[in-house]
Amino acid sequence: MNLRLPDAAALAEAAAALRAGQLVVFPTETVYGLGADATSDRAVAAIYAAKGRPSFNPLIVHVPTLEVVARLGVLTLAAEELAVAFWPGPLTLVLNKQPKSGLSELASAGLPSVALRIPAHPVAQALLVAAGVPVAAPSANKSGRLSPTTPKHVADQFGSEVAMILTGGKTTVGVESTVLDLTEDVPVLLRHGGITREEIEALIGPVALVEKPNVLKSPGLLPKHYAPSIPLRMNSFTAGPDEAYLAFGPDTFAGRGAKACLNLSAEGDLTEAAANLFAMLHELDRAEHTAIVVAPVPEIGLGLAINDRLRRAAAL
């Protein structure tokens, strides 16, 4: 088992593993997180593969200081006030992404915003400082299982997919961070968590709740999704001369004659395809194309999440 006490050597190794694109589980004060370099599409794709999630939800990006927060997201007055009061701590703020954030498109599932958090747990702090890269981390559990609050919970679920599991005792908060969206005129509470609505409102005034009641039960069900601004068609090997084609796999005839063509993965590798998905959709989403046509992607492993996102975009 790759459980390690967070001594200096383990922290240095974990930081190096993160920089090399590997997964590291680390403690935070809320729950254990399954971390990867948030600037690497490949590393973030590995999170989804390890969790076995059949959909791409935007992930929380963990950073050590407010200075790094401001480099990745656009701080507002309310954000700064909340940061001073509650960070480091169990609060996540959704901010507009800085144009040159360098963050993976997959980390925020193609959205123009990013969820940021400065965790308080000393091991998380030490790891983030040592890593020197922002760390995307959902709770370190397989899809559909409970969020882990002890290193043993994690070790029971993850083996060789992760380079290391840093231990840090039982988490003190025990529930996930509160997620507050500050990109709208009125702040929206997207998920209840470690900081209460009352605590937030005492500081910045009224916040709105997400209307869909099921959002609180399944935090992945967001009202907002990235979708291209032009129509999208799935499961096709052919595209017209005004259309853009998004291929998958080695078939060089697929999409022939299309106005533009990109390949999610010429080798048919689903992790590579997931890593490329949002960046390539963004690139093909141009007014000069009448539609984006996407090749069939197998409904296995990460293909499930890729097809889920494509179906939502196609349905609009």
Residues that bind ligand TXA (CB under 6 A): 28, 30-31, 33, 57-60, 92, 94, 108, 111, 113-115, 117, 119, 137-139, 176-177, 179, 181, 190-191, 219-220, 222
Cβ at position 287, least distance to Mg ion in Å: 38
As measured in angstroms, the least distance from the Cβ of 38 to ligand TXA is 11
**Count of residues engaged in binding Mg ion, rule: CB under 5 A:** 1
Cis ω for the linkage preceding 88 (within 30 of 0): yes
| Closer residue to ligand TXA in complex, CB, 61/314 | 61
| Residue 26 or 248 having the CB closest to ligand TXA | 26
In the beta sheet, which residues pair with residue 139?
Answer: 33
Question: Does 183 sit near Mg ion (CB under 5 A)?
Answer: no
Measure the CA–CA gap between 157 and 261, rounded to whole angstroms.
Answer: 39
Closer residue to Mg ion (CB): 70 or 215: 215
Shortest Å, Cβ 308 to ligand TXA: 14
Nearer to ligand TXA, 3 or 215 (CB): 215
Query: Which of Mg ion, ligand TXA, none does residue 228 bind to, with CB < 5 to 8 Å depending on kind?
Result: none
Closest-CA residue to 116 (of 85, 83, 81, 77): 83
Q: How far is the CB of 89 from ligand TXA (least distance, A)?
A: 10
C-alpha 249 chain-centroid distance: 25
Q: Which residues, in sequence order, are CB contacts of 22 under 8 Å at separation 6+?
A: 36, 43, 46, 162, 163
The one of ligand TXA, Mg ion, none whose footprint includes residue 113, by CB under 5 to 8 A per kind, is ligand TXA
Taking CB under 5 A as the rule, which mask of x and - marks residues 113-142 in contact with Mg ion? --------------------------x---
Q: Residue 189 is inside which H or E element, if any?
A: strand 188-191
Cβ distance to ligand TXA smaller for residue 27 or 249: 27
Nearest to 196 by CA among 207, 212, 183: 207
Q: Which is nearer to ligand TXA, 114 or 258 (CB)?
A: 114
| Nearest to Mg ion of 22, 139 (CB atom) | 139
Distances 272 to 43, 101, 128, 268, 277 between C-alpha atoms, Å: 10, 22, 26, 8, 9
Binding track, positions 141-180, relative to Mg ion; x by CB under 5 A: ----------------------------------------
Taking CB positions, which residue lies at the least distance from Mg ion?
A: 139
Residue 277's nearest CA partner among 298, 291, 263 is 263
Exposed/middle/buried for residue 218 (C-beta within 10 Å: 0-12, 13-18, 19+): exposed
CA dihedral for 120, 121, 125, 128, sign (positive or negative): negative
Shortest distance in whole angstroms from residue 232 CB to ligand TXA = 21
Residue 222 binds: one of ligand TXA, Mg ion, none (C-beta under 5 to 8 A by kind): ligand TXA
Cβ 217 to ligand TXA, closest distance in Å? Answer: 11
Provide the minimum distance between the beta carbon of 114 and Mg ion in the complex, in angstroms, as a whole number.
18
Contacting residues for 271 by C-beta, under 8 A, at least 6 apart:
42, 45, 46, 49, 302
Q: What is the DSSP string of 73-134?
A: B---HHHHHHHHHH-SSSEEEEEEBPTT----TTTTTT-SEEEEE----HHHHHHHHHH-S-
Q: Which parts of this chain interact with Mg ion (CB under 5 A)?
A: 139
